[in-house]
Chain A
């Protein structure tokens, strides 16, 4: 769980900086928008960030292994459409349909896994292909036009109502967050993921079951994307082939903002959660500050660069000092 032994320990952890950013954002928007700090708005925040948050959670172990999954947004769309199809056309009740959808998500993740772990193809290319394939299947199944709607109220409860005081989907989000956190930070599996991110070949030679690890990571990603699809459908009360367009980039943004290194090996689940929070608060708060939506995009870009620079600056600094004084060993 410690950062790379090669890099000097930074004065402040990335997560601490990010926490400060989140708090600052909160204070700023609280000052700007009188209704920003209300309980109701906090619930809106939770509701609106649940799906992106889930995808970001799924993406974290993937990126920790040094991989990437560009297909999650498309898979969300495909799963939403298939869920609608199973419920309306196959006549399944929502719970069964949701269970089947989760299975399909895992299966689709399995396709990524087979190509990445089995054929050892680069994750970027494979998921670029499935990004197009999954969205294409969603469009082909619905012919682009079909929209699933009029879901029963009991199902919509999942996305629009509260359970035990919190928006229903927040409980799912919390459960997945806890599970992924435990998996990444408290199991040997999580350690192995980081190890693979640091040194893929080394991990292989060390005798770790790299293939099985990667398979698990991508299947998990598909499974969580399917869950996000079900929650998305419940929140909107409709499922269509364009659901989740562009979510993969938002999820990656959140993960990277959370301090996970895109090269793998370094990062944390709580960092990802903070990254999700930072982006969600920015998007929501700017509406309360009555700024147009483009500003949110601009500031997301700026925040990303700043957070990144904040993480790298100390290392650069140290490297420069090390270069000035003769290094004890080769770098």
Chain B
């Protein structure tokens, strides 16, 4: 396999978009707003990494947006109760991992199809949260925002943490046995089983990890503002999955890299702001986003034809 073949078209598309912006709307590159926008996308990157793990394992998770909302609200309530930030963070991670593990049990343990399981948990968490909270905002105590770091430092810390985690996960996926098992199970669960890997354990692990990443992401979003909106995370799962597939991760499992996910997310996250900067009216946004997804995957296939 050649180096970086699958991610090339995404990278080119991103480069083209950035070039267009540099010519027509250089204001896009003003450092301060760009830093803020990047910090806002940092949590999405973690959710997308989780989604990528699950997809590599030949499963799918569409409940991550609802998990995100549940963890956000729980973390917000605990913080408002006066829990110290470290305890809030620990609980958020644990809660995220638990929600992910629940998907994992249902998928890996009972052998149920993941799209249906996560469809069910997505609806259940979202409606349960609405029933419980009725949509009321949660006001957070003053010290929690940026964890006391100050705004710029906090934003850099979030971006740094997200990228470091991405790098760590990418390395683990490439070099650790557990990472290779993920790809093995995703390419052919039966072959993996015969090679001594337990596919159900790997699948369970992927869902749990994705849940923990979503929990962390929710926490990283909560500390960016002094209020928690219980509707946050609506539609996040689709954004994450879109970033993953645009980034060249094969939906049929076993193929794809986290670096591609980063590129995919950068592309998708740039489109919205780019349209505002290019003075294109908002009602074109969804159509353009859809066209970009289609073009990215079609270009990828056209370039590699007649593979498979």
On A, residues with C-beta under 8 Å from B are 68, 115, 119-122, 124-126, 128-137, 139-140, 142-144, 249, 252-253, 256, 261-263, 292, 294-298, 300-302, 304-305, 308-309, 312-313, 315-316
Contact = CB atoms under 8 A, between A and B. Distances in A.
Interface of B: 60, 106, 110-113, 115-117, 119-124, 126-128, 130-131, 238, 241-242, 245, 250-252, 281-291, 293-294, 297-298, 301-302, 308
Q: Which 6 A-B pairs have the closest CB atoms?
A: A136-B287, A133-B290, A297-B127, A136-B286, A132-B290, A301-B124
Q: For A143, A252, A301, A309, which residue has the most chain B Cβ atoms within 10 angstroms?
A: A301
B120 A130 contact: no
Contact of B120 (A115, A119, A304): A304
B159 to A, nearest CB: 27
B283 A139 contact: yes
A312 B106 CA distance: 11
Given A128-B242, A298-B128, A136 B290 contact: yes
A119 B284 contact: no
15 contacts: A119-B298, A119-B302, A128-B293, A129-B290, A131-B290, A135-B286, A136-B287, A136-B288, A139-B284, A139-B286, A140-B287, A296-B127, A301-B119, A308-B116, A312-B110
Contacts of B242: 128
A125 B245 contact: yes
Nearest to A301: B124
Contacts of B288: 136
Contacts of B308: 120
A271 B283 CA distance: 39
A38 B182 CA distance: 54
Given A121-B298, A253-B119, A302-B120, 4 more contacts: A122-B252, A126-B297, A139-B287, A256-B119
Contacts of B282: 144
Given A126-B294, A297-B126, A132 B120 contact: no
Nearest to B123: A301
A129 B294 contact: yes
A207 B40 CA distance: 51
Contacts of B110: 309, 312-313, 316
Contacts of A124: 60, 245, 251
A302 B123 CA distance: 9
B246 to A, nearest CB: 8
Contacts of A309: 110, 112
Contacts of A122: 245, 250-252
- Chain B contact residues: over half helix, strand or loop, or mixed? helix
B112 A308 contact: yes
Contacts of A298: 123-124, 127-128, 131
Nearest to A303: B120
B293 A129 contact: yes
Contacts of B122: 301
A137 B119 CA distance: 26
A300 B123 contact: yes
Contacts of A131: 290
A96 to B, nearest CB: 26
A283 B16 CA distance: 48
A117 B90 CA distance: 47
Given A131-B290, A297-B123, A301-B127, A125 B297 contact: yes
A130 B124 contact: no
A263 B189 CA distance: 15
A272 B308 CA distance: 34
Contact of A137 (B111, B123, B287): B287
A136 B301 contact: no
Nearest to B60: A124
A308 B117 CA distance: 9
A128 B243 CA distance: 11
B256 to A, nearest CB: 12
A125 B116 contact: no
A26 B274 CA distance: 52
A14 B105 CA distance: 22
Contact of B291 (A133, A252, A296): A133
A261 B302 CA distance: 31
Q: For A136, A296, A302, A312, which residue has the most chain B Cβ atoms within 10 angstroms?
A: A136
B290 A316 contact: no
Nearest to A256: B116
A263 B60 CA distance: 12
A119 B301 contact: yes
Contact of B124 (A121, A133, A143, A297): A297
Contacts of A142: 283
Contacts of B297: 121, 125-126, 129
A132 B287 contact: yes
Nearest to A304: B120
Contacts of A292: 131
Nearest to B289: A132
A297 B128 CA distance: 8
Contacts of B128: 294, 298
Nearest to B282: A144
